[in-house]
């Protein structure tokens, strides 16, 4: 039995085509003040491991390839 009737999306998404974590980049992980981002060593991609985002945006602003996107909820804009 599902716990929710609808799917939820993560506030931070990473474009696998643009992410260069496999080449050693850890910028988004390093600048996150909540330590919610991590690098999946098996896939070589950054990902959001905890849904505790403050929408502070340094991960998106500092990503050298523009792979990280923060979806700010409408009521916070």
Supply 48's token pair.
């959001």
The residue length of the chain stands at 77
Q: What is the pLDDT of residue 23?
A: 96
**What average pLDDT score do residues 16-28 get?**
97
Q: Which residue has the higher pLDDT, 77 or 15?
A: 15
Predicted confidence at residue 70, as pLDDT, reads: 94
Fold of 12-69: Alpha-Beta Plaits (3.30.70)
More confident residue, 51 or 40: 40
Q: Would you state the pLDDT for residue 8?
A: 53
CA angle 46, 2, 52 (to 5 degrees): 35
Full-model pTM: 0.82
Whole-number pLDDT of residue 6: 46
Across all residues in the chain, what is the average pLDDT?
A: 88
Domain limits, the chain:
12-69
């Amino acid at each position: 039995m599902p716990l929710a009737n609808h799917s939820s999306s993560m506030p931070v998404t990473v474009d696998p085509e643009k992410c260069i974590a496999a080449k050693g980049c850890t910028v988004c992980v390093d600048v996150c003040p909540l330590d919610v981002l991590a690098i999946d060593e098996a896939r070589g991609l950054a990902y959001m491991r905890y849904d505790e985002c403050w929408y502070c945006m340094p991960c998106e602003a500092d990503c050298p390839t523009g792979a990280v996107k923060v979806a700010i909820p409408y009521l916070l804009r």
